[in-house]
Structure 1
């Protein structure tokens, strides 16, 4: 791959900076590109340009916004293999998984194009209240203005689409700050939006350090909404600086799954292994805690470990690879410390539990206690715990014993138990008869507790990125 210098995308032009940083592939350390590093002045320029472009975007007809989004989806579809390879290199995502993400991203932009044409209001029966006679009431939704979108490394195409798609569908402008490790995907998407005819300034991409740019991005009064996916710590800091302006926060998780004794374990184990180890567990709703009824705990654990040991570890560009590198060596060191601390406190390693170069082997933990870091914190790594329970009430209690609440799953053939879990589990989503890692791109998605608030899923994100306006007309004087 030819090493290039990539610029910021500001007001429809590419701006190469004198200062920058080298971008290396997580798996083998090869130099991928030199990335321009934005400063506070660049952020101000980007916000000012987006603010000015909003006057054009808010007047752009819905069918034009939809057309632009459809064109982006089509370009991405045509360049799918190029985009997947880019994703695999900069994120260390296995190529088959990368292709799946590109496919989902195409669908996400298509959903956004469709939603651009169905942003509805409603009529209000004004005469339902005394004094409302001879009046017509109705609502419509208006775009907010400048949206700042801050995205993580783990789904650099699709999570960006979940921010850009609804924002542009609604008629907003966006200043996008991608993760430092995965800027190339965002810059490619900016190129596609430019080719699709998005007005200059409607999308700005500033690359560089979140620590350096964060305050400038979220504190400016011209920014009407911030949508952020990342850590709880940063999410809380963003919220403290945004005041009354709108915020969507998709933060941490340590997703749990309950496995009831009436399910055929041989049919669900492969799916559970997939949920625990896809993209080396670096997924917000990665399966981290599995609570298995004590009557099937032993055979479930044995089958799960056996299946895990069959996973192929290696180069993300190898078609046979299931698991590749973690995003950074410091993350490998962190999870290795957590696993060792758990073992010292009495946990056992069923398999894995060590690193091989840039890869942390898929790891199954047994005899884990609720207060161990591998259970109560977000591992964001290929580590899963299997814990027995006596009855469903206990399993729900253990699943709820968490600061997070994004997705929780339950496998059961008992409809009463399924609805008990749906009612009592404290999370933004309850996934019945599948892993909590399940997500399709039009469903409402978001959490409670320290998993954040607000919802993604294109229709729901459009609502979060618009303001409801009410209009009343007195029909008779």
Structure 2
């Protein structure tokens, strides 16, 4: 049974997207639509049943989220959860699911965003204005993908601000049933109160460039679209879910700093960039940690199968809705799992350990830094290191002595490397209209913990290490004291194969709490039958911030997709206005 929790802002599209995916994968569904728009869900299911949906396959539950959280989420019959909503609620669901123990319950969460757009001095101003207005104010700014922060290069900022203000003067706020209306009300009083509080908060912290007029009177939820200017991203403490765009000016040479600011928010849902310099758009698309990148077009209106939608970090877990890996999370990875028992004294010892380790913290920081450059390497370069590693591991005395089935493990590893090379050789080309390019890129998660206790086997552990590294991640290998020498031998072989030292760190199981509690760890991989699986799941779910996965997927071709994140890059190929490469040529170029 899959629990589907959908929002009010797309009461039909997201509701049906979740439910139909779950049903298509062979599940039954408890569907919890938003209270504000539940009539749409009721009618949709009525029509579906008229079309032949069997009784009991989809059951609607119309109730406050708190009731669902208390009574449905903890129910052991719920075997997966699909959720669209706030980051805080998504994290709460992850914790409740982890408290069950056993196999990790799949959670597909699409949460908040601090969506930004970067505009440089080469961008076409008219197109920028059109895309800012549609991305920031359409649907009263109540889309997950809506524009919140507009970075304008200072050379063109005044001109573009003047043009945006002119466009906003033409917006009509009013009854959404009228064709003359451009912007309707926000959803309810709670939303209006929150937006009004944000206006109050910005007093003295921001410059108001323009505020649209709204209908007079009371008893409505109209909120005036506003255009502000702020000094930097730190002014915004959280996502503002409504028709408010915040401008930040930047100098041409500050692009790297702008990208760093955006990534530092921890959010990663949508991102826009307007530039006719290919190197600029390529850098933004490559370096910004967002799920959907839009180049020289608006940032809203993702189409299923064309722009698979979903974020990373504080913005979601993946896999992307409408993407090729969505249904795979709705089927079980492991059908029969026998978990080794964890002795109470061992559990108590692991929990009693310090939650902070200075040496480990330093190693994680170095690993995270090294991982950025490692991910940039071509997959053939990374796989070459892995192949050299496997060749040398075959004759390593320490490993050969401890692992009787090493030859079979190495054969599986070589096959896995071949599969990873094919999967990561090029981005997935997606369909789309003429004049638009859509690609799905698979990128490394970051730092991955590969955990092996005494109940787990060498084969799973080494294949998970290999997959994580080949995918572009850094790895922290966590082992029992008795396996520490073997893990260090593996590390030595990796370094001999030219792996950068910071990319593979060996830690002891006694450091598990300090490691998993650290937000630099983006995912943890552990064999399904491991005795410390449930404990690891609780530790990773207890963290504040991004929802990070505990991965128990078998160490075969399926594992790769759990150790990468998806990024959709959509490019308006008609918007360059000519040969964009000419704009980057020096004066004396031939």
Equivalent residue in structure 2 for 1:201, among 56, 68, 75:
56
Would you say the 8 A contact 1:410–1:435 is kept in 2?
no
Question: Is 396-405 or 282-291 further displaced after alignment?
Answer: 396-405
1:167 matches 2:31? no
Q: Which structure shows the bigger proportion of residues in strand conformation?
A: 1
Does the aligned pair in 2 maintain the 1:177–1:206 contact within 8 Å?
yes
Mapped contact 1:361–1:382 kept (Cα < 8 A) = yes
Measured after TM superposition, the shift of residue 437 of structure 1 is 2.4
Give runs of aligned pairs for residues 64-463 of structure 1, distance below 5 A: 146-243=1-98, 244-345=104-205, 347-352=206-211, 356=215, 357-372=220-235, 375-391=236-252, 392-442=255-305, 443-454=307-318, 455-457=320-322, 459-463=324-328
Contact persistence 2:267–2:315 (CA under 8 A) = yes
Q: What's the counterpart of residue 141 of structure 1?
A: none
Q: CA deviation at 1:456?
A: 1.2
Contact 1:342 1:368 in 2 (8 A): no
Q: Within 2, Cα distance between the matches of 1:412 and 1:161?
A: 36
Of stretches 181-190 and 446-455 in structure 1, the one that deviates more from structure 2 is 446-455
Does structure 1 retain, via aligned residues, the 8 Å contact 2:174–2:214? Answer: no
Per-residue CA shift, 1:330-373, capped at 9, x if unaligned?
A: 2212211212221222x11111178654200110001343222x
Encode CA deviations 1:92-120: one digit per residue, 9 max, x unaligned: xxxxxxxxxxxxxxxxxxxxxxxxxxxxx
- Residues 108-145 of structure 1: CA distance to partner in whole angstroms, max 9, x if unpaired? xxxxxxxxxxxxxxxxxxxxxxxxxxxxxxxxxxxxxx
Contact 1:254–1:376 under 8 Å retained in 2? no
User: How much does 1:459 deviate?
Assistant: 3.4
Structure 1, residues 188-211: CA drift from partner, whole Å, max 9, x if none? 111011011111100010102111
Aligned to 2:357: none
Asked if the contact 1:339/1:353 (under 8 Å) is kept, the reply is: no
For 1:149 and 1:276, the matched residues in 2 are separated by 28
SS at structure 2 position matched to 1:467: coil
User: Which gives a bigger RCO, structure 1 or 2 (Cα 8 Å, sep 6+)?
Assistant: 1
CA distance in 1, matches of 2:169, 2:332: 51
Q: Indicate the structure (1 or 2) with the bigger Cα radius of gyration.
A: 2
The separation in 1 between residues aligned to 2:214 and 2:226, in whole angstroms, is 10
Contact 1:352 1:361 in 2 (8 A): yes
Distance in structure 2 (CA, Å) of the matches to 1:431 and 1:250: 18
1:394 Cα deviation after fit: 2.7
Q: How many Å apart are 1:237 and its aligned residue?
A: 0.7
CA distance in 1: counterparts of 2:289 and 2:95, whole angstroms = 25
Counterpart of 1:63 in structure 2 is none
| SS across alignment from 2:203 | helix
Shift of 1:468: 4.9
Is this contact kept in 1: 2:212–2:224, CA < 8 A?
yes
Deviation string 1:155-179 (CA, Å, 9 cap, x unpaired) is: 0000112201211221211110011
- Between the aligned partners of 2:272 and 2:237, the Cα distance in structure 1 is 17
Unaligned runs of 5+ in 1: 1-145, 471-477
Q: Which sits farther off after the overlay, 320-329 or 443-452?
A: 443-452
* SS state at 1:292 partner: strand
2 CA distance for matches of 1:368 and 1:157?
38
The CA distance in 2 between the partners of 1:156 and 1:361, in whole Å, is 23
Q: Summarize the Cα distance change of 1:458–1:163 in structure 2 as closer, same or farther, 3 Å threshold.
A: farther
**Structure 1 residue matching 2:233: 3-state secondary structure:** coil
Say if 1:233 and 1:354 are closer, same or farther in 2 by CA, change over 3 A. Answer: farther
SS at match of 2:326: helix
Question: Hey, what's the Cα distance between the residues in 2 that align with 1:451 and 1:376?
Answer: 15
Instruction: State the shift of 1:289 in Å.
Output: 0.3
1:467 aligns to 2:327 (yes or no): no
Gaps of 5+ in 2: 99-103, 336-590
Q: Is the 8 A contact 1:353 1:361 kept in 2?
A: yes
Q: Is the 8 A contact 1:444 1:456 kept in 2?
A: yes
C-alpha distance in structure 1 between counterparts of 2:48 and 2:184, whole Å: 31
Contact 1:336 1:354 in 2 (8 A): no
Name the Cα RMSD after superposition.
Answer: 1.8
Distance in 2 between the 1:261 and 1:467 partners? Answer: 50
Contact 2:269 2:315 in 1 (8 A): yes
How many residues end up aligned between the 2 structures? 322
TM-score (structure 2 length as normaliser): 0.53
Q: Give deviations 1:188-243, integer Å, cap 9, x for gaps.
A: 11101101111110001010211122222211111110000001111111000112
1: distance between equivalents of 2:91 and 2:107? Answer: 11
